[in-house]
Structure 1
Amino acid sequence: MDMNILPSHSGSNAVRSRSSNRQAVLGRIQSAGQMGRAEIARSLGLSTQAVSNIIAELEEDGLLLEAGTRSGGRGLPAVQYSVNAEGGYALGVEIRPDAIFAALVDLHGNTIATRRRAIKNNKPDKLVAKVIKLRDEMVQKTGINAERLMGAGIVIPGPFGQTGLSGLGSDLAGWQSIDARTLFEDALGLPVELSNDANAAAMSERIAHGLSNFAYLYFGAGLGLGLVNQGQLVAGAFGNAGEIGHVQIMTAGGPAPLEQQLSRVSIQTFMRAQQPLDIDAISALFTQKDPRFWNWLEAAASALSQATGLIENLFDPQTIILGGAMPDAVLSHLIAQTHLPDLSVSNRTDNPIARLQCGTCGRMTATLGAASLILNRAFTPQAASL
């Protein structure tokens, strides 16, 4: 995962807290690769002295390194600073009903370790114990200093209950009344960012693509939508923004929920399969050109066309990205066969970005996105602190 956070705010001596200014400075350096103090001060609207003090703190904390000098004309060459990849790490965890995926990511966004464990018992105490074990395994394998872990992003299936991000969706039985954030924070001893899979995947693609306004259609068991606006996730009042699978579309048989035509569960229905189909099974159906699967592709392309028009006209994104637990070849075929609606605000000639495109982060996209939530918090001043 090529890290490219796009800072979306400027600094302010009068308004921003010192913590937010640290985030702004760190994010600006990370985005540029390397910068000098005067350049940072100009770009953020901070005084050079304030930036010098913040850089000194970040160096002491091991988050920044000197990266040589650059001549700017008159005067001494300016000392350049870059983010220390080994200065901190983020833990990303994706919890599915049947498996846990975990990853460790450094401050440059490099994935340094991954793990996957099948699960049969997803009760809270069992799941938390497995997450702790996976974290400890990766820390031991990589030899990193566990004290450098900056936080854990935990991705779980939505939609969330009335308590917002404190409870889990129905796919994880027994979690509905659990304060999941507090549970994981206490167990891991780390700050925790909790999110659904579509939102986390969107953050992962935001970093990979360097986009600031886009929509991400995530294929889990069902279908979710992650929305990024001005570089920040759109979560909604209770964390449920983007539950697009429940939106009604027109089908040959009349109105139906979108995810009945466009999801892995819908493939299972079209194939009359007894069990859910994994990525490898779906890939085999595509390669073999199974007639029933080809029927699904036709229905899915029609559904995607309707979803595209809806998303574009509601949110005016730079692009819509498709990804998740679906083979790239299938997603590419869907995109190629999907009619892009003419009656859309995105039907324009001045946007060089394709209206539909495949994601780049593969099967681990939501897991890496979970880690990205922590990196995003480290590099980007959050709206609540403005």
Structure 2
Amino acid sequence: MLGIPLKDIKLHPIGGNAGRNRTHNRRVVLDYVRANEPTGRAEIAKSCGLSFQAVSNIIEALETEGLLVAVGHKTGVRGQPAAQYKFNPKSAFAIGIELRPNSLICATLNLKGDCIYRERLSLEDSSPDKAVPEVCDMVDRAIAHCKRSRAQLLGVGVVMPGPFGAADMADMNAAILPDWESIDIKAVFEAALECPVIAENDATAAAISERVAGVARSMDTFCFLYFGAGLGLGVITNGHAQNGAYGNFGEIGHIVTQVGGTKCSCGNEGCLETYVSRLSVQKFMANRGIDIPDADTLTMLLEQNNAALIEWIDIAAKHLSQAIGILENIFDPETIVFGGAMPDSVTDALISRLQLPQGSVANRKDRKIDRVMRGASGHYTAAIGGASMIIHQITTPSMALYS
């Protein structure tokens, strides 16, 4: 379930009724109902600082739209029993699409954030000409499977690996999607899907997923290391997702962890993702005569205690340990979450082999949670984050997660 406690959301000052934005007031009411359902108009007005008449008008509109439903009356109070309202999760939904170099991932969430449909599709060609029609077909299948009308679709969150607009890196980096570097992603998909679209990099979307429905639900500041074709970083600080000037915040895969190390496709040597990523483990194993066509193969090899895979895990953990110390000392996070395309068992093996640096601000005696933990959403975490961004844009008064 996607709800964030009201106390954890950074609300804008409400002020007087006359000066407030109508859309903002709708979001205030929706967010309060989601956190406190069932609830009545008087409680909403008192808690949100709105007039009873303003709340009544908003409730009436939300009922007409089907977003809220009446669920009886509150008894035991003076006067006429007050009508109670709650969210109608079937009234609307959002779709998240993750575009990877070799696959499409879809996650569909109802208005409360429950995942009601998932799909993974292999891709031989992820270029715009091939991928956009596949995304349109996937969205159509999701709508049909969920037995919803297209009018109920709030929007689609499209996520993909970065960096965006870095021409030299895009030309050389195998983890970047081909032919997308000069594309206006939001505009292309809004035209193709005929609905609102939010575009985001995969690591940031994954961090949002864990913030709203995963292991970081109670955290305001944390880092998310996303294991994809490359390695990405999503950072939530004080409840806000960090984006950077050009949407490229968190390209941690291209920090150098070994001077003069393995040649990276970006042109540098010793980049972190040459040691820790899906492409790195595939290349490492291929050099030892072992093909890794999918995540299930990695799971099987780990169950067999394959010596080559264990060797890669040890090397990857060494470089990750160095990177974790850097992240902790820069961002002072509550924790660092691992997730993405790696199987859970491999992620757990990486975490178990970390040698976390002692010289870190995170090395405190009063710690109550682990410095590193595995995320809860698995392979679908970025797609779930894409859909979550759409829902929160509609139903929260301040997009604290995505501003």
TM over 0.5: yes
Question: Offset of 1:62 from its aligned partner?
Answer: 1.1
Q: Which of 383, 386, 389 is the matching residue for 1:373?
A: 389
Equivalent residue number for residue 5 of structure 1? 4
Please name the residue that 1:318 is paired with. Answer: 334
1:73 offset after TM fit, Å?
6.1
CA offsets 1:52-86 (integer angstroms, 9 cap, x no match): 33222222211112234446866665543221101
Q: CA RMSD in A?
A: 2.8
| Structure 1, 318-327 or 123-132: larger mean CA deviation | 123-132
Aligned to 2:68: 64
Classify 1:304/1:138 alpha carbon distance in 2 versus 1 (closer, same or farther; 3 Å).
same
Q: Does 1:180 align with 2:204?
A: no
TM-score of the superposed pair, with normalisation by structure 2: 0.85
1:339 counterpart residue number: 355
Q: What is the CA distance between 1:117 and its match in structure 2?
A: 2.3
Aligned equivalents of 2:222 and 2:139: distance in 1?
Answer: 31
TM-fit CA distance, 1:309: 1.6
Equivalent AA in structure 1 for residue 161 of structure 2: P
Query: Is contact 2:335–2:371 with CA below 8 Å preserved after alignment?
Result: yes
Q: What is the CA–CA distance in structure 1 between the aligned matches of 2:35 and 2:361, rounded to whole Å?
A: 30
Q: Does residue 297 of the first structure (1) align with residue 330 of the second (2)?
A: no
User: For 1:311 and 1:259, how far apart are their aligned partners in 2?
Assistant: 15
Contact 1:265 1:276 in 2 (8 A): no
Q: Does 2:244 correspond to 1:236? A: yes
Structure 1 residue aligned with 2:203, among 191, 198, 205?
198
Which residue in the other structure is 2:276 paired with?
Answer: 262
Q: Any idea what the Cα deviations from partners look like across 1:251-301, whole Å, max 9, x if unmatched?
A: 896982221222222212332268665211211221111222212221222
Following the alignment from structure 1 to structure 2, what is the Cα–Cα distance between the partners of residues 131 and 363? 18
Cα gap change, 1:149 to 1:216, in 2 (>3 Å):
same
Partner of 1:371: helix, strand, or coil? helix
User: Within 1, Cα distance between the matches of 2:251 and 2:117?
Assistant: 31
Per mean C-alpha deviation after superposition, the further-off stretch among 177-186 and 345-354 is 345-354
How many percent of aligned residue pairs carry the same amino acid? 43
**Is the aligned partner of 1:218 residue 2:226?**
yes
Structure 1 residues 266 and 172: CA distance shift in structure 2, 3 A: closer
Report deviation, 1:366. 1.3
Range with bigger deviation, 307-316 or 64-73 = 64-73
| Structure 1 pair 250–175 and aligned structure 2 pair: CA distance change class (3 A) | closer
| Structure 1 residues 162 and 266: alpha-carbon distance in aligned structure 2, compared to 1, 3 A threshold | closer
The DSSP-based 3-state class of the residue aligned with 1:289 is coil
Larger CA deviation: 289-298 vs 357-366: 289-298
Provide the secondary structure at the position in 2 that maps to 1:184: helix
Secondary structure class of the residue paired with 1:256: coil
Deviates more, 1:40-49 or 1:366-375: 40-49
* Counterpart Cα distance in 1 of 2:209 and 2:98: 13
What residue is the counterpart of 1:166 in the other structure?
none
State the 1:218 CA deviation: 0.6
| Aligned counterparts, 1:88-103, within 5 A | 88-103=92-107
Secondary structure of 1:293's counterpart equals: helix
Rounded to whole Å, the distance in 1 between the matches of 2:322 and 2:39 is: 45
Cα pair distance change 1:323/1:159, threshold 3 Å: same
Please give the alpha-carbon distance, in whole angstroms, between the structure 2 residues aligned to 1:339 and 1:74.
63
Matched residue SS, 1:97: coil
1:85 aligned to which of 86, 89, 94: 89
Displacement of 1:237:
0.9
What is the alpha-carbon distance in structure 2 between the residues aligned to residue 182 and residue 124 of structure 1?
12
What is the CA-CA distance between 1:351 and the residue it aligns to? 4.2
Checking the alignment, whether the CA contact within 8 Å between 1:38 and 1:48 is kept in structure 2 is yes
Give the secondary structure class of the aligned counterpart of 1:117: strand
Answer with 241-250 or 110-119: which moved more. Answer: 110-119
Query: How far, CA to CA, are the matches of 2:20 and 2:332 in structure 1?
Result: 30
Question: Which stretches in structure 1 are left out of the alignment for 5+ residues?
Answer: 164-168
1:54 counterpart = 2:58: yes
Could you say which residue in structure 1 is the equivalent of 2:170? none
Cα distance in 1 for partners of 2:114, 2:207 equals 17
How has the CA–CA distance of structure 1 residues 76 and 217 changed in structure 2, closer, same or farther, with 3 Å as cutoff? farther
Deviation at 1:355, TM superposition (A): 1.7
Q: Which deviates more, 104-113 or 145-154?
A: 104-113
How many angstroms apart in 2 are the aligned matches of 1:146 and 1:11? 35
**Residues in 1 aligned to 2:357 and 2:251: alpha-carbon distance in whole angstroms:** 21
Query: What's the counterpart of residue 265 of structure 2?
Result: none
Mapped contact 1:264–1:276 kept (Cα < 8 A): no
